[in-house]
Chains A and B, each alone.
Chain A
Amino acid sequence: MSLVDPVFAQWLMADCLWSVATDDVGAARWGDSVLTQERKTTIALKADAEAEAARQLAFMGAGGPMVIDVHLLVGRWEPYRGQVITITGNRLDYDAGIDVFVLGAEDALASGTSRVTVLRRL
């Protein structure tokens, strides 16, 4: 008789357990162009890992492509890192105003302008 349950033994010999969130609609639409991303987290419980996987998948474009754009804006934008702002412009289809996630900024205080790097869902 085994002293260690075989299923439990599999975990003892692994790095962690895994939860998966999948966007089937996006996968069908984009075919071979899609990516699978994974990370070993510090989360303790399965239910929390499942919720977090769905949350992260939603941020990563929810099955659609994303782009990184760099805008020239007036003002200081470094404090907005990690927040969503709305940018309006007449190029690259920003006419209607697009919500973007601010990744970085180079605030030129002398000129009062900033080169702002943003993440945008297409």
Chain B
Amino acid sequence: MAAPLILVEVHPRRVADGVAETVRLAGGGSRPFHHDGQHWRAGIEALPTIMASIDYDGEIVGGGVAQAMTLSFAPSSHSIIDALSGYFWADAAITVRIGPEGSLPPVVASGKVLDVAISEGKMAIALADPAVDLMKPLPLAKYAGTGGLEGPEEWEGLVKRRVWGRLFNLQAQPMDKANNVFCLADPMHRLLAIAAVRDRGAAAAELTYLDWQGTVEATLTALQAAVAPAGGGVVCPSIACLKWWTEPAGDLHCDVLGEVGPDDMGGYVETTADIAERIVQALGGPAFAPGVVAASAALRSAPMGWIVADDTTTVAAMLDDMMASVSLLWLLSATGEILIRPWAWGASVASAISQDVTRQNMLRPVTTRRLGYQRNETVMARGDLAAIVLASDVTYPDGTVVSDVQPAEAGATAGAPAGTQVDTIAAEDVSATIAPGGGVAADQVGTAAIVAGSVTGAYHAVSSAAIAGDGSWRTLVSYPVEMAEAGDILLWADASQTFGDGARAWDYRIMVGSTALNLVAGDVVQAATALSGRLAVGAGSVTVALQARAADSTVAVAAGRASLLALRCYR
């Protein structure tokens, strides 16, 4: 029986002009080598050994696709070697086919030439790892530092970050300090959303949204001109930017939903396989095997996030990291397509008889697996955070932790002699303000006086006549609050489920004097339990009220109940 046939097609470049030519080599089988309408030079000395492995030392890794192969070509005449030595072989595309004679053998390896050595009439052709095309960084655009979308002068040469999926606490970079415009990623790649913005860790009081204005430049111009709400900002995910209402106290950080690809690529993606595909596409290939991305996305559907913020990390390393996060691994097929497989004890796909076996090493049992999630893209120092002191961090000289004796802690005044003054209150009276087990006791308020009986968790009856269903605001509950001095009043309201019919649209609001707080529009009655509000008021009497309206005048309103609770007044 004839030996298997090996056919090697290489495309080295001529040294003289750099133009690639096709060189066909062959071995095994029977001569002459005429296959696929071409003549192949005999001389491949022996079939090669293909080595490939995945690293595992007790830890799941994402790739580890190292693969190696060397071909030895020993033609009958040294003149053939002499002729081949005139080519530049490095990075030449190469395809190796091995199989029985007859039809064209299947491809067993493809890739690029790593190096060529010539000795004693033989030429050794070493193939590069097939993954070499992935072992280079993702090409990122860089800021020109010319202003506008190209960033300030000091940004010249900085890479434009790319982000996919869900990212948390990503630092916004000051793109236009004069207009308080900040940038999160490459403005040329639209984000799905900027979900949260924080100044030194404190959430924005309010965020408004600026839509796409037709071009990147026009959108930035509109953002620069936009008026941001006090304490908040204007988010503009279509150019990955935001505008803050003033010069921020510290660094701004955001939670984002990353890039939205073209519709024909599926728009926004957030699974590991989908994001891996986007990154490889941005690199320019190689392709994933048909169906493998969809299958892997279904197998590991957890949302994840990925940021490319440097031009040194290779795409192969990125794939390793993200795949290992969800127990997947990637490798290349013989034809150079990317395959994804799970680290799993699935069903056996083949059987074999062992001719010999050796034991390489024994791994200790792993009984605890800790996985980090919700990765913090910017780890902050305590000094970076706004006005925060953790009570658990502060102790008295005797070692007592401050949080253990906080004012609303049960037993905070235990042992104090009768008559001991705590501010203006006797210690024995302080205990009455503390609920069993800690916290502020019911019906207790801070420093402001509230008329007796008005602070209550009980529902106030609302008659059926209270709401006429004509669209006008009607007061459900109302009472005066006496403020001993100027301060903030905190209110919370709810309505029982028996109020209204629960099926039609209602609006609710809290009123403090003539100021409306926390309007809940177009909700069913149960949603009124979400009402709360805080407002600064002056000393004296102010009326607080819970109001409702129903737009449908044909609605017959049943009797119900509602309550309004003044929880706390702050000086």
Which residues of A are at the interface with B, using a C-beta cutoff of 8 A? 1-4, 6, 8-9, 11-24, 26-27, 29-30, 33-46, 48-49, 51-61, 63-89, 91-92, 94, 97, 99, 101, 103-110, 113, 116-117, 119, 121
Given contacts A42-B321, A65-B362, A79-B334, contact A84 B345 (CB under 8 A): yes
Q: Which of B30-38, B378-386, B406-414, B504-512 contacts A (4 or more CB under 8 A)?
A: B378-386
Chain A residues closer than 8 Å to B166, beta-carbon distance: 44
Given the interface pairs A75-B352, A91-B357, the reply to whether A41 lies near B363 with Cβ below 8 Å is no
Offer 20 A-B interface pairs, CB within 8 angstroms, sorted by A: A3-B388, A4-B388, A16-B372, A29-B365, A42-B305, A43-B304, A44-B168, A45-B302, A53-B370, A55-B327, A59-B344, A70-B360, A71-B354, A73-B352, A73-B355, A82-B331, A84-B347, A91-B356, A99-B348, A103-B54
Bound-state CA distance A16–B378 (Å) is 10
Least CB separation from B360: chain A residue: A68
| Chain A residues, CB < 8 A from B354 | 71-73, 87-89, 91, 94
Report if A67-B376 is in contact (Cβ < 8 Å); known contacts: A3-B387, A85-B351, A99-B345.
no
Q: A72-B357, A85-B352 are in contact. Are A42 and B366 (CB under 8 A)?
A: no
Closest residue of B by beta carbon distance from A70: B358
Q: Which residue from B4, B55, B334, B375 sits with its C-beta under 8 Å from A40?
A: B375
Task: Check B363 against A66 for contact (C-beta < 8 Å).
Answer: yes
B225 within 8 A of A: no
- Bound together, the chains give a CA A107 to CA B6 distance in angstroms of 15
Inter-chain contact A88/B365, CB cutoff 8 Å: no
- Contact: B388 with A69, CB < 8 Å? no
Q: Are B365 and A64 in contact (CB under 8 A)?
A: yes
Q: Are A72 and B356 in contact (CB under 8 A)?
A: yes
In-complex Cβ contact of B373 among A3, A44, A109 (8 A): A44
Q: Is B17 an interface residue (CB 8 A)?
A: no
Complex CA gap A74/B374 in Å reads 46
Interface size on B, residues (CB 8 A): 94
Task: Give the distance in Å from the alpha carbon of A21 to the alpha carbon of B98 in the complex.
Answer: 46
Is A2 a contact of B387 with CB atoms below 8 Å? yes
Given contacts A19-B371, A35-B58, A48-B373, contact A109 B345 (CB under 8 A): no
A86 & B348 in contact (Cβ 8 Å cutoff): yes
Q: How far is the CB of B367 from chain A (nearest CB, A)?
A: 4
The answer to whether B361 touches A67, judged by C-beta atoms less than 8 angstroms apart, is yes
Q: Check if B348 sits within 8 Å of A42, measured CB to CB.
A: no
Question: How far does the Cβ of A92 sit from chain B's closest Cβ, in whole Å?
Answer: 5
- CB distance B374 to A45 under 8 Å? yes
Q: Are B350 and A80 in contact (CB under 8 A)?
A: yes
- Which residues of B170-226 are within 8 A (CB) of A? 200-202
Q: Are B369 and A34 in contact (CB under 8 A)?
A: no
Known contacts being A42-B375, A67-B362, A117-B53, is A27 close to B357, with CB within 8 Å?
no
> Would you call B352 and A77 a contact (CB within 8 A)?
yes
Q: Tell me the smallest distance from the CB of A57 to a CB of chain B, in Å.
A: 4
Q: Which of B168, B370, B392 contacts A38 (CB 8 A)?
A: B370
Q: List residues of B (329-343) whose CB comes within 8 Å of A's CBs.
A: 329, 331, 333-334, 339, 341-343
Contact at A42–B368, with CB atoms within 8 Å?
no
Q: Are B372 and A18 in contact (CB under 8 A)?
A: yes
Q: Does A36 lie within 8 Å of B370, measured CB to CB?
A: yes
Which residue, B305, B306, B359, B370, has most C-beta atoms of chain A within 10 A? B370
Question: How many angstroms between the C-alpha atoms of A37 and B47 in the bound complex?
Answer: 42
With A49-B372, A51-B302 given, name 13 new contacts (CB 8 A): A22-B369, A30-B367, A35-B365, A36-B370, A39-B325, A42-B305, A42-B325, A52-B302, A59-B343, A69-B357, A70-B359, A92-B359, A107-B50
In the complex, which residues of chain B have a beta carbon less than 8 angstroms from the beta carbon of A106?
49-51
Proximity bits, B70-114, A CB within 8 Å = 1, else 0: 000000000000000000000000000010000000001000000
Q: How far is the CA of A74 from the CA of B6 in the complex (A)?
A: 19
- Please pick, from A1, A9, A20, A27, the residue contacting B385 in the complex, using a CB distance under 8 A: A9
Closest Cβ of chain B to A97, distance in Å, is 7
B375 touches A13 (CB 8 A): no
Point out the residues of chain B lying under 8 angstroms from A73, CB to CB.
352-355
| Inter-chain contact A4/B385, CB cutoff 8 Å | yes
A3 to B272, CA, bound (A): 35
Task: Determine which of A3, A30, A57, A104 lies in contact with B369 in the assembled complex, contact meaning CB atoms within 8 Å.
Answer: A57
| B385-423 interface code vs A (CB 8 A; 1 in, 0 out) | 111111110000000000000000000000000000000
CA distance in complex: A22, B373 (Å): 17
Asked whether B375 lies within 8 Å of A15 as measured between CB atoms, the reply is yes
Q: Which residue of A lies closest to B330 (CB)?
A: A82
Chain A contacts of B353 at CB under 8 A? 73-74, 87-89
| B165 contacts partner chain A, Cβ-Cβ < 8 Å | yes
Closest beta carbon of chain A to B368's beta carbon, Å: 4
A15 near B363: Cβ-Cβ < 8 Å: no
A16-B376 contact, Cβ under 8 Å, with A39-B371, A42-B325, A70-B357 = yes
B354 to chain A: closest residue by CB: A89
User: Are B50 and A109 in contact, with the CB atoms below 8 A?
Assistant: yes
The answer for the CA separation of A88 and B52 in the assembled complex, in Å, is: 23
Q: A9-B201, A17-B373 are in contact. Are A110 and B367 (CB under 8 A)?
A: no
CB-CB < 8 A to A17: which residues of B?
Answer: 372-374
Question: Do residues B51 and A56 form an inter-chain contact, with CB atoms below 8 A?
Answer: no
Return chain B residues, CB-CB under 8 Å to A70.
357-360
Residue of A with least CB distance to B353 = A88
Q: Are A107 and B49 in contact (CB under 8 A)?
A: yes
B48 touches A109 (CB 8 A): yes
B302 contacts across to A, CB distance below 8 A:
43-45, 48-49, 51-52
Interface check B465, CB cutoff 8 A = no
Q: Do B49 and A108 touch across chains, with their CB atoms under 8 A apart?
A: yes
Which residues does chain B contribute within 8 Å of A21, judged by CB atoms? 368-369, 371
Q: Chain A contacts of B67 at CB under 8 A? A: 78
Given A26-B367, A69-B360, A106-B51, also A121-B341 (CB < 8 A): no
